[in-house]
Amino acid sequence: MIRISGIRIYPFETPGRGGRIRAYADITLDASLLLKGVRVIEGTSGGLFVAFPAQRGRDGRYHDLIVPLDAETREYIRTTVVEAFKRWTPSTQTTEG
């Protein structure tokens, strides 16, 4: 399985405007691949989830550009990013996974 070797959190304040995005994150995998533009989003029930970068297709729908191929990898990325977001402070801009 892959290993997250670093996460950089970029808080994004939108609650006052009705937005649900709480942060963007860049994830470094195995110190050799950087995934940019992962979003931390607050769900309607208040929980946090991770949305991967997506692109609008010709059909007008959004299609994920990054897709974990198994539930274990998806959950590992989700929990690691959400934990990094909860621990984020300006002095901990970059966290090790």
Annotated domain spans of the chain: 4-95
Q: Residue 94: pLDDT above 70?
A: no
What rounded mean pLDDT belongs to the chain? 87
| Distance separating alpha carbons of residues 81 and 87, to the nearest angstrom | 10
Give me the CATH topology for the region 4-95.
Arylsulfatase, C-terminal domain (3.30.1120)
| pLDDT per residue as tens digits for the range 26-66 | 999 999 999 999 999 988 888 899 999 999 999 999 999 99
- What pLDDT does 18 receive? 61
Q: Residue 23: pLDDT above 70?
A: yes
